[in-house]
Amino acid sequence: MLYVIKKQMKKKLFILFIPLFIIGFIFKNDIQQAYFSYKEKKIISNSIVWSSQRKLRIDDFNFEPTKTQMDNVAVTVGIVSVHKFGKRINHRSTTVFQPEYSFITDKKDSLVLRIAQARFDLCELYRRKMELKIDSLNKEDITKINSDTITKYEELYYNLFENEWTKFNEITTNHLSSSLIKMENYLLDELK
């Protein structure tokens, strides 16, 4: 009797999972899109979104005086993006600052916020460049473009941002003030 009940349960479960599997297969892209949108919203809700009106403040950072960090600041920024293919590539991206992973070691260092803001602004500049490139792909035959193509461009532009920031840091080792002013002026012009 117990064997018959177990067998019937397995049959019912099997019958239940077939439609779920078919629905999952049919709506795979929509389910994937919903998942990525959820991840995007979660990251954004725990971050500060770049805005020309909102500048970083000391209280946006964790204060960790015992850590060693070049320029007394660790600025964690990134680009969150989601894309979807239809008749054209729909791409949405946001530049974020993540307070949870950012810290300062000295609250009295007057350059800390300027350095942090420059990094945040530079990331926004490269996000915009990435968006322009992805928008230009819509003028091509998008049937030849897939999700991997978009991901490669996202990685490329983030790496270009990191490389430019690294160069800036190498130059500023000896001439921080003048290099920072040049970077700020460059960003001011570019982000208009």
Instruction: Give 178 or 17, the one with higher predicted confidence.
Output: 178
Residues 95 and 39 in one domain: no
Determine the pLDDT at residue 42. 83
pLDDT above 60 (res 33): no
Residues in the chain: 192
Owning domain of residue 129: 47-190
| Structure-token pair, residue 94 | 């946001």
pLDDT category at 118 given cuts 50, 70, 90 is very high
Are both 80 and 168 inside the same structural domain? yes
Q: Which comes out higher in pLDDT, residue 109 or 60?
A: 60
Answering whether pTM is above 0.75, one says yes
Same domain, 1 and 68: no
Confidence class of residue 14 from pLDDT cuts 50, 70 and 90? Answer: low
Query: For the CA atoms of the chain, what is the radius of gyration?
Result: 23
Residue 173 to residue 190: CA distance in whole angstroms: 24
The pLDDT of 2-12, averaged and rounded, is 59
Q: Give residue 21's pLDDT band: very low, low, confident or very high (50, 70, 90).
A: low
In terms of Cβ atoms closer than 10 Å to its own Cβ (0-12, 13-18, 19+), residue 141 is exposed
User: pLDDT tens digits, residue range 140-177?
Assistant: 877 788 888 899 999 999 999 999 999 988 876 667 77
- The number of angstroms, rounded, from the C-alpha of 146 to the middle of its chain's C-alpha atoms is 19
CA nearest neighbour of 119 among 43, 55, 47, 42: 55
Same domain, yes or no, for 53 and 20? no
Pick the last residue of a domain from 11, 30, 45: 45
